Structure 1
């Protein structure tokens, strides 16, 4: 009876450790502000068919220019970094001394008074660090702000959730309108202050995480 009670207790405790359902939405690290196009103040009617406030060139490319416009960013980020260092130290020394003559001491005793010391020190170390990151993709962003010099601050987010797994891609940066290509696209390598976030949550992320007990032992073991 005691064994059965223990088994039932362990079963109840194990059920409490069951993985909870994953929240699909991932909150951004910083709140994202979605820009809205500023209302255009209508000019006083002049009786002319031409209105400067609503003028758009007939042969102009549909490129982003105002808050609220969309812009497609082709993300192509590649970062390769390597560092190598080496050090070598070698030092040696030797000293010796003796007594050749001393009153009231015989020669055999003087031979035993010879003193000598020798030391050798050496050290060598090598270190190497290498980091390779490649990221490619595309995301459609929204113009959040137009700077005084005409540059556009764009922000975009893409979130895909399948069952209990979710992947989020967030992008922000500043672009010069001159770099916008035909089709209203721009390469991320031609933008400034680029920030790319790719995060995921779900069973795959939990499988790659270190358990709390393993993290505890890693923090207390001194070697």
Structure 2
């Protein structure tokens, strides 16, 4: 608690999405936000701070911590925040070790990024001199308050997402695009099979070509009215 998770979320988003106070345990439930970095969408979840159950202030915080572990189990990458102002405190170090042990347990296959936050007030701490944090993972030092190190974190998150800069541009394949490409390939294969028969019946060939063209249209934006409505209601929450 109070390591700066909500401050980091706000800094990455460029908006006050989560409540930030000096009071430990402010975040009780998950706060989710989809951010774009270099045009790449990343789904970020800010969770309740983790500590021993007996240290929780009430049942609500205990439920929040349980939901934190649920989110961690489903994550592709975990940003493990360490407070640079408290790393020399034995009790804090033990709490970090307890969390690390659980992150290293079987079934926790997510990539772990060690983020040493509050660099603006923990300037006298040499991160490189610290023992290699557990579980193993990349180490970054930043200040969510001043923005120091945020760009390095953004680039690290892009690498974790599989993004690579290229002179020809960037291609991001959404699941819907991949499904459309697979459908187009299947229809083209059937069209090729009809053409190979040389039976003069071009109606089936033409139909497969039309379906392949339609599948590609779902990527390029050639939607029918029904397709467009379905996409809108799938991706957005529409209220009165």
> What TM-score, normalized by structure 1, do the two folds share?
0.19
> What TM-score, normalized by structure 2, do the two folds share?
0.18
Structure having the larger proportion of residues in helix: 2
User: Comparing both chains, which one has the higher relative contact order based on Cα–Cα distances under 8 Å and sequence gaps of 6 or more?
Assistant: 1
Structure having the larger proportion of residues in strand: 1
